[in-house]
Structures are given as C-alpha cells and as structure tokens.
Chains A and B, each alone.
Chain A
Amino acid sequence: MHVYRDGKLIVKWDVENQKPMKGAVTSRILALISELEAEGLL
C-alpha cells in the first residue's frame, strides 16, 4: 500500500507484515491504515 501526500510518497506499507517498506509511518497514518483494515478495505 502506497501513501502519498501532495504527489509525494510518504510511506510504502507492508500490509502483511505491518511494517514500512519505504519512508516512515506516522501515528496518524497508522490510525488511518487501522481504520481501512477494520472496514475490510485492505
């Protein structure tokens, strides 16, 4: 999963291992990822 802000990659997230593959994850992004997972979208 790739997270962009203003056309810039913030983090490439490994959904399976719950780790960033590129960039760094912030607590806000982590919360958004958890929300998406809870909704079954990931």
Chain B
Amino acid sequence: MKIRSVTHNNRRKTFEVRTSSKKLVFPFSKADPTPTIQDPITALSVDVEAGREAFTYGLHSGRTGTVHIEQILEYNQDPSYLRDLLLYRLTLEAQKRVAESPLSKREIVRRLGTSAAQLYRLLDQTNYRKSVDQVLALLQVLNCEVDLVIRTKTA
C-alpha cells in the first residue's frame, strides 16, 4: 500500500496519512522519536526510497524518524493486514508441524486430497494468496486442534 500524502495535526497529536483508498491516523506517541511541544516537527515527507510505503519526519532537535505503512495499518487494526499476519503465523506453525510429523509429505498430500505443488504453496510463508481455510485443513491433517478465541478488543 502506497502513501499518497502525509500531514501532521499538532492539536490532535497525530500524523494523518492518505493512501489510495484510506485516510489513516498514527499518534505521535507511537512514533520514535516522539514529537513534542518542546521538540516539534520541522519536516515531513513521504519516503520515496521506501517505495512510498513509509514517511520520514524531522524534529526541531535535528532527530529524524521513519514510520512504515505497516505500523500504521497495525495501529488502525486494518483487516487485510491482520489477515495476512494471521496467515503468516499459521503457516509457520504448519511448517513446524510438518517437520515434526511422522507422516511423509506424500501421505499429507494424499490426506489433503491435493497435489504436492499445492502443499508446497500452503507451506510457503511468503504466499498470501492461499486461504486461512486451506492452512486450517492442513493443520487438521497434521493432527492439530486449532482453537479460535474471539474476544472484545481492549481500549
């Protein structure tokens, strides 16, 4: 996700980031170094070197900081970012379980009713085009119980 523009609001103490589809905020308090009244922002721009996926700011003291779009998405609890993170964690767990499993890869493929290529696709942690559903099916085949815990977010 690319950042189109970034501004700061000293009254609200937030950075305001605009992407192609969203307007997101990021509080000063989450940024390091933290802008303050004594050390205010003097420069702010989208970071071109980071493929417009981050912004850089400078403070009156001369210190600089960079905030990546993923920090902003995480703070704003972006559903598709959180989905990718969940998928990554499940995939790492599946990789670990496959390595520890007494089942051969061929047997896992047979039980999943799929192809070897599909199994390797499911075990590729950089592939986010698979579904959570498919990884859950793999974990089931690996004799794992997956408990879903749904809880209300705390403030």
Contacts of A17 in B (CB 8 A): 92
Cα of A27 to Cα of B128 in the assembled complex, Å? 24
| Of the residues B48, B70, B125, B126, contact of A7 by C-beta under 8 Å | B48
Number of interface residues of B (CB under 8 A): 14
User: Binary interface profile of B, 51-64, with partner A (CB < 8 Å = 1, else 0)?
Assistant: 11110000000000
> Is there an interface contact between B51 and A7, defined as CB atoms closer than 8 Å?
yes
CA distance A17 to B88 in the complex (A): 11
B105 within 8 A of A: no
Chain B contacts with A in 45-99, Cβ cutoff 8 A:
48-54, 68, 70, 88, 92
Query: Chain A: residues with CB nearer than 8 A to chain B?
Result: 2, 4, 7-9, 14, 17, 19-24
Q: How far is the CB of A8 from chain B (nearest CB, A)?
A: 6
A-B contacts, 6 of them at CB < 8 A, read: A2-B50, A2-B70, A4-B50, A4-B51, A8-B51, A21-B126
Interface positions of B from 106 to 136, Cβ below 8 Å from A: 125-126, 128
Residues of B that sit less than 8 Å from A by CB? 48-54, 68, 70, 88, 92, 125-126, 128
Q: How far is the CB of B3 from chain A (nearest CB, A)?
A: 12
Contacts of A19 in B (CB 8 A): 92, 125
Which of A2, A4, A8, A20 lies in contact with B126, CB distance below 8 A?
Answer: A20
B68: A residues at CB distance < 8 A: 2
